[in-house]
Amino acid sequence: MSQETLSAIAIAAHQLGALMLVGSLFFLLFILRPVTRQTLGVSERQRFFLLLYRYLFRWLWVALLLLWGSGGWQIYLLGTAEPLLPAQIMAGGGAVITALTILGQVVRYFHLADFVKEERWPQAGRYSSLVRVLMAGALLVGLVLVLTGVGAPYLAPPTP
């Protein structure tokens, strides 16, 4: 395969990962959460979000693997000794999103699941809110990275 084809595949995989990550977090925070708040009681909502987070985190990990793999692949294909500024910003932001995802999954698995199983709804609500705040942070960083990707041609000097 030519380098242009490999680069196009890497870019497409990167865009797919970004779409999955940002789209799922946006849907969770701005559409699904308000609807469940209006339609479900506390216990049903906590059970729902516990199950939802299990699926959400699976897909977030798929998206993060796509992003890390395709991002590293693109840097490799560029063949530069030091990645350009947009790539450095994206790698740093990707590390932040990965850390927030790990924290969210730890909170969900070790705390939220226990409180839902024990039907301790006030504690479950607090930990569910913590997961939501962590995912909102990941969404915010993801949006900044999407804008960085769009603005990359203007942030990096042209390569000779």
Identity (one letter) of the amino acid at 38? Q
Please state, in angstroms and as integers, the Cα–Cα distance from residue 118 to each residue in 37, 51, 123, following that order.
21, 15, 10
Of 71-75, 90-94, 113-117, least confident by mean pLDDT is: 71-75
- Overall pTM surpassing 0.75 (yes/no): yes
Alpha-carbon gap, residue 116 to 46, rounded angstroms: 7
Burial of 33 (0-12, 13-18, 19+ CB in 10 A): middle
Over residues 95-109, the mean pLDDT reads 94
Q: How many residues does the chain have?
A: 160
Residue 85's pLDDT band, with cuts at 50, 70 and 90, is: confident
Per-residue pLDDT, 109: 85
> Does residue 110 have a pLDDT over 90?
no
Residue 154's pLDDT band, with cuts at 50, 70 and 90, is: confident
> Does residue 159 have a pLDDT over 60?
no
> Does residue 4 have a pLDDT over 60?
yes
Over residues 28-37, the mean pLDDT reads 94
Of 51-65, 92-106, 140-154, least confident by mean pLDDT is: 140-154
Q: Would you state the structure tokens that stand for residue 75, as one six-digit string?
A: 């840097």
